[in-house]
Amino acid sequence: MKSNRLLKTSFCLTIAVSLLSCDSVPTSTAAVAAAVDTTKNPEAVAAQPPVQETAAATLDTALFNQQLVHMTNGDSSGKWPVKTAYPLPGAILPYKRIIAYYGNLYSTRMGILGELPPKQMIEKLKTELKSWEAADPATPVQPALHYICVTAQGSPGAAGKYRLRMPFKQIDSVLSIAKMIDAIVFLDIQVGLGSLQEEIPELEKYLAMPNVHLGIDPEFSMKGGQAPGKVIGSFDAADINYASDYLAKLVKKHNLPPKVLVVHRFTRPMVKNYQQISTRPEVQIVMHMDGWGAPARKIGTYKHFIYTEPIEFTGFKIFYKNDLKETPSRLLTPEELMKLKPRPLYIQYQ
C-alpha cells in the first residue's frame, strides 16, 4: 500500500456458496454466512459551515451543558458544541461514553464480535472499558455490542437487493450476550440496493426495546445500482432523517429513553446535504469516523470529515487488524483520542 497519498477504499466480499440465492439466513443454518471484510481509507475534504440551531431544553440543562463543555475539549471555532435539541430524560449522551464491539456472529472476519467466543470477547471488552475509565474519569462508560444484522453481499440474491438479513435468533443471541455485561445493543444495516425504508421496519420489535439502538452504513447504500464493493455508497440527509424520524416515533409510542443513531463515515460524499440533517430530542445522532490506517491518517479523517461537518455527537473506530496494515502501524490509545476536538463519545472496536 502506498503511504504517500490517500487511496480509495478496497473491498473483499466473501459469500457462502449455499447462501448465494438467499435474502435471509435460514434459522437452521449453522455454517458461516456472508463475511464482508470492509477495508477503509480516508480522503481529505474541504470544510463546510455548521448545522443550524434546533429545539429547546426539556431536562437538567446545567448538567447537559457541563458535559458538552467537557466533550468540546476547548474548541473555539464555534462549530462545537452543535446548537441542537436537548435530549429527553434517560439520554446516554453526553453523560456517558459508549464503548462498542462490532461484528457479526456468523463471521470471524467482520469484527471482534463474532471473532472470539462470547466470554472471551466480553473479557477483552472489559479491558477496553477500564482503559477508557482511566483516560476520562469524568465520563462513565457504557458497554455496547454493535451487531451487523443486514450485511451487504456481492451477489443479488432472490430479491436482487445485494443484502442478506440475519435471522432473528441471531439478534436474540446478541441480546443474551449483552446481558453478561449490561451492554446496550446496536443493530447495523447495510442496505445494498435496498433502502432504509425497507429494512428498518423489519427490526421494529427490537428497536422498540429500551436497550436497542440503530446503526446505518452509507458505504453499502448503492444508489447507482452497482454491486456493493464496486464503489463507496452514500446516504442523503433524507435517508438519515427517515431513520431518525422512525426512531423518534418509536420513542414517543413506547415512552422510551432517547435512541442513539450511529452513521458510519470516512469520506465526504458518503453523507450528502449534511446541513439538512434534522436533530430531535428523541434521537441522538453520532457521526462515526469509520476509516482505518496509520494514526495520522485516522486523525486527519476525523478532522476533515467529522469535525468540519457537525451534526450532534461524534464517534471513532479502532480496527484491531486493519489499523496495523500501514506503516507506521499501531493502535491509537484512549489518551490520544481524548485530545481530539470534540472528544468522541462513541468508540467502536472492530
Instruction: Please determine, for residue 19, whether its predicted confidence score (pLDDT) is greater than 70.
Output: no
Does 33 reside within a domain?
no
The residue ranges of DSSP E strands in 105-152, in sequence order, are 141-152
Q: What are the tens digits of pLDDT across the range 238-274?
A: 999 999 999 999 999 999 999 999 999 999 999 999 9
Q: Is 84 contained in some domain?
A: yes
The pTM assigned to this predicted structure is: 0.84
Residue 3 domain flag: no
C-alpha cell at 258: 432517547
Q: What is the pLDDT of residue 86?
A: 83
Higher pLDDT among residues 264 and 39, named by residue: 264
Instruction: Tell me the residue range of the domain where 161 lies.
Output: 42-349
Please give the pLDDT value at position 256.
Answer: 97
Judge whether 30 lies within some domain: no
Pairing between β-strand 163-165 and β-strand 212-216 as defined by DSSP bridges: unpaired
Position 116 pLDDT exceeds 90: yes
pLDDT for the residue 326? 82
Report d(CA 172, CA 156) in Å as an integer: 26
CATH number at residue 154: 3.20.20
Reading the block at residue 344, the C-alpha cell is 468522541
In a domain, 6, yes or no: no
* SS3 at position 48: coil
Total structural domains within the chain: 1
* pLDDT at position 292 over 70: yes
pLDDT of residue 59: 65
Q: Please report the pLDDT score of residue 229 as a whole number.
A: 87
With respect to residue 223, please indicate whether it lies within any of the assigned structural domains.
yes
- Domain assignment present for residue 26? The answer is no
Look over the chain and give the mean of its residue pLDDT values, rounded to a whole number. Answer: 85
Whether residue 125 is contained in a domain is answered as yes
